[in-house]
Structure 1
């Protein structure tokens, strides 16, 4: 074969005569540095000199990140024509990588099926392509086929199949099966693979499995700790995340940027300012205070701790600020209702930084009428007027400044049909200002109302005492296949309580259990306890209470009220004492509930003891309702003089209810005395 003559390649201006081996080697040099243009020109020269590329040459070219799909298809045709595609797995595997980079799933699958020779790398790349494009089922089927071939699996095989698992309901069982296969193949000690599996368990919300696997890791690294700490933060367990961070430090592991971001977010969630400052000191010692990700987390933490001076200081220490950093600072200032967000937005624009919808939203949150109108003009100029998130913030800004009509007209201007989120915001404002008719009328214009829209209409009808309409709306919502949420159920349960509809309330309880809200929503459970108690089914009230895992002061108050209403004053007192044993300090409503239970049951001494301890033991000064319970109880028991002493000792004038109870008690006592006198004569 004659030498190949090349012209103007690289820095040469004279013809270059290369032998075949040299020519192939020269082609690989631009491929390795990613210079597709030079590599392609050299290939064209080679083809013009009747040189055929080898599988190494083609695979090198196909592996170039900047190679276009069109060029790749030409190389595929060349490999098929030259027989290199069927010769071994090199060219086909590189071709799969190209298709994967460009998202050409069909082409990748066809090429994979056409390959005569497949290496383990070939299988792994195809698995990864399927997983990254969301074809989890196809990825699992292909992995099964790979296992059946009997080829020894690699770390890449497991990483590829695990990377697509994110669904808690469908993928958890499969993850556990892969875990077993990993152990069988001897990969249970592979730290990178174990980290990947921990991450999958976390995505599938299997925190117990993730923590157990983490504890079994023979030599965990920073990635393992970061994964588990971040998972604890995102699953609502920031305190445990901080404890893990302390354990990590004790083991001598150096935290990374990801570690600090997770624990700073934990401190923000807990509003633990002291702990956050301590971690900030560790950030400085580790030299991360100028890092944009860690610095932004600190900006957000101090902003949520209402310390904008420290937040701004952390912002200034970030060397290369990005749009997230600016937005975090702007959001912090917007919560203070200051003009700083507007000033920061102007500064961003002056420095040539890009702004986004979050920048506008933060600026609009605390803007005055004048600034709102100025921002309105700017966002129109920048093409954000039809962006729903910005539109919602703009509507809120106009409404906050008392310009609801202007907000409404703007919403109608930007769209032929009413946008959903801004419409819900305007309806919510109508609802909060007791304009219930306007709420219902406005939302009736929506073409496709969502759950929030239905909730607002139901709430408006309930607040205007149109209870039958509420029940009809809930039925229409069910027919329209709109999924109710906890706010929906709360509204309907309140209506059931008002109407004393035990049958409907019980049916609603069953529906709540089907939607999985029952097990975790304390507010719904509290509403169920109240509904059953006021509808006379005390057994169901107690059952709901006992099944709850997260009880708050409202929960105990609801149960004590239910027991008192249904004639169980002694049990109500017992539960009140149990509540105190759980270190829950009674509030004014809890004390009123237990006093009411004593009032219904005629327990004078018990009620007086609690009443006298209100200021000293509970730190709560008696209010009108508390005085009414005591006066009514004493009056009904005929202790008029004691009732009169209570009234005269009140620090404020008695209301009509107190006087009514006292006078009715006095009247009964007088009638009783007259009856006794008549009997004596």
Structure 2
């Protein structure tokens, strides 16, 4: 391609004007074809406009822009900058940095747009060393006086956790600062949880925008959990935008104050998909999946298109409730409305199908995933194990090993749980021992808990007790509770009493523990023990937790609580009682 400057005739070419207005793939393809047939594509300026249109379009990926880029013999800084910016927008900072390195080798001239873009890439990939190298290049090339570049450096250091380096640049009185400089520095402190430093800088700001306030609200609400201070900032804002409202309800949601979050949500002057997502995800995480699903349906009815967070929150709610029909409906809805099913959403669907017992759907989803992360593998392994397919879970674990897929702590918790449910004691012990020897992963309390459960289910109660008493860390109530449950299954009163004593020492002897112990005594005919447990619970004023159940009815979810007659109309209840009375009289 020629590197000639654009002529006046080329600048007025209608094809280039149309490129700036294009948003669909078919429009860009048509103009690209016209540029080729007219040979205008051979001009670097025209090619740069085509790349810029490709990067901006939501309908195309960076692959298409790369294809055009490779046809340019001598790309200039504008084209390279456009490509780097495009890589950043699609969250591929490594490719952005690689292109910068290529520019250096090819001698492409850098400008004051190149460095901020590539510095942002360094921040996104936490490449502190690369960022420092670029800092040196900036000084060498004389760009350190450029405000745009300096803000890029401040942002990079803050993103990499080097707030001291960022503050040194910020405090340099010989250079100009603007609102972006102040916000970048405050964002760095907020990101690191240094709210004291952030507050002092915020108080010194010569001017503030809504983003300045929203950052502080977000920091207090999410980073340090100081929701009172966050609300104080929110109430003092001279003008609130949608971001600040979302930050505040997210802060309430983050600390589990869903009543306050809902009240604020109801008073919002306007809502977007993020607002709904915060509430749906908040209810799902707070253990109120029914309300999460209700909100998801409301959002859809009001015409707001769900995003990834709201979809995952609703799917998670279905998993908690075991609402398979609702989960399938959400899956179909997402597919029909062309909402991107990325690895996060697909993994949530696998988890939902597994927890609802629909293993075939879970397998189908997992096998069709174009991309899997360690969470996807973990969810599949845990699901297979819990549903009694321990050997298949082990096969999946072996496949991870063969493919050299990254494993983490949860992977081993998953496969040990699978072994436990399937009674694969030897295999489970081998995997536990290989954690240290083969994977250099030190077993944590949760892994020892899986081991105790594995041995307890298999009836190896003495070995399970030995693991608890010899493990390198202090056992918690979950381990002794697991052993107590195993004692009931295998009718070992002596060890059950030891477990109960240990739980009492940990002050974790709740009503559920005593109910299990009472059942153990009852099954062995030890009625004196049963009476003793009941008296103990009465003296301590312990109440058995109320039983609950959830079912799907006509596309909705209904929750039933033991002793609650609200789902049973009075007339029908009276009719049933009357019928039962007549039956008893007839029988007599």
1:501-540 aligned at under 5 Å gives the runs 501-520=323-342, 522-540=343-361
State the 1:523 CA deviation: 2.4
State the 1:475 CA deviation: 2.6
Pair 1:178 & 2:4 matched: no
Residue 232 of structure 1 is matched in structure 2 by 87
1:288-437 aligned at under 5 Å gives the runs 288-315=143-170, 316=172, 319-335=175-191, 337=194, 349=206, 355-357=207-209, 360-361=212-213, 365=216, 400=226, 402-403=228-229, 422-437=244-259
TM normalised by structure 2 equals: 0.72
Counterpart among 100, 103, 123 of residue 245 in structure 1:
100
TM normalised by structure 1 equals: 0.63
Residue 660 of structure 1 is matched in structure 2 by 484
Residue 573 of structure 1 is matched in structure 2 by 394
Distance 1:518 1:536, change over 3 A: farther
SS of match in other structure, 1:216 = coil
State the 1:619 CA deviation: 4.0
Residue 46 of structure 2 is matched in structure 1 by 193
SS of match in other structure, 1:257 = coil
Distance 1:503 1:360, change over 3 A: closer
CA–CA distance in structure 2, aligned partners of residues 529 and 279 of structure 1: 43
State the 1:595 CA deviation: 0.8
Greater RCO (CA < 8 Å, at least 6 residues apart): 2
Residue 123 of structure 2 is matched in structure 1 by 268
1:474-553 aligned at under 5 Å gives the runs 474-520=296-342, 522-553=343-374
1:97-246 aligned at under 5 Å gives the runs 154-158=10-14, 160-167=16-23, 170=24, 172-204=25-57, 205-246=60-101
Q: Which runs of 5+ in 1 are unaligned?
A: 1-123, 126-152, 350-354, 366-390, 671-681
CA contact (8 A) 2:221 2:254 kept: no
Q: Which moved more, 1:325-334 or 1:181-190?
A: 325-334
Q: Deviations over 1:79-118 (max 9, x none)?
A: xxxxxxxxxxxxxxxxxxxxxxxxxxxxxxxxxxxxxxxx
State the 1:332 CA deviation: 3.1
State the 1:298 CA deviation: 1.1
CA contact (8 A) 2:357 2:387 kept: yes
State the 1:292 CA deviation: 1.9
Distance 1:318 1:305, change over 3 A: farther
CA contact (8 A) 1:439 1:460 kept: no
Residue 80 of structure 1 is matched in structure 2 by none
CA contact (8 A) 1:398 1:404 kept: no
CA–CA distance in structure 2, aligned partners of residues 644 and 359 of structure 1: 56
Q: Deviations over 1:280-323 (max 9, x none)?
A: 12222222121222222112112222223332444438744444
CA contact (8 A) 1:530 1:541 kept: yes
State the 1:483 CA deviation: 2.2
CA–CA distance in structure 2, aligned partners of residues 400 and 575 of structure 1: 43
Q: Deviations over 1:349-369 (max 9, x none)?
A: 4xxxxx34168538x83xxxx
CA contact (8 A) 1:509 1:528 kept: yes
CA contact (8 A) 2:227 2:252 kept: no
Q: Deviations over 1:159-209 (max 9, x none)?
A: 642453342xx3x22222222222222222211111111111111244222
Q: Which has the higher Rg, Structure 1 or Structure 2?
A: 1
State the 1:394 CA deviation: 10
CA–CA distance in structure 2, aligned partners of residues 642 and 260 of structure 1: 62
Distance 1:346 1:619, change over 3 A: same
Q: Deviations over 1:105-137 (max 9, x none)?
A: xxxxxxxxxxxxxxxxxxx99xxxxxxxxxxxx
Distance 1:230 1:406, change over 3 A: closer
Q: Deviations over 1:26-62 (max 9, x none)?
A: xxxxxxxxxxxxxxxxxxxxxxxxxxxxxxxxxxxxx
Counterpart among 538, 561, 567 of residue 382 in structure 2:
561
CA–CA distance in structure 1, aligned partners of residues 277 and 298 of structure 2: 12
CA–CA distance in structure 2, aligned partners of residues 193 and 650 of structure 1: 69
Counterpart among 465, 471, 475 of residue 650 in structure 1:
471
CA–CA distance in structure 1, aligned partners of residues 175 and 446 of structure 2: 59
Q: Deviations over 1:470-518 (max 9, x none)?
A: 4333333222222222222222222211222222211111112234444
Distance 1:582 1:261, change over 3 A: farther
RMSD: 3.6
Q: Which runs of 5+ in 2 are unaligned?
A: 1-6, 495-588
CA contact (8 A) 2:249 2:261 kept: yes
State the 1:606 CA deviation: 0.8
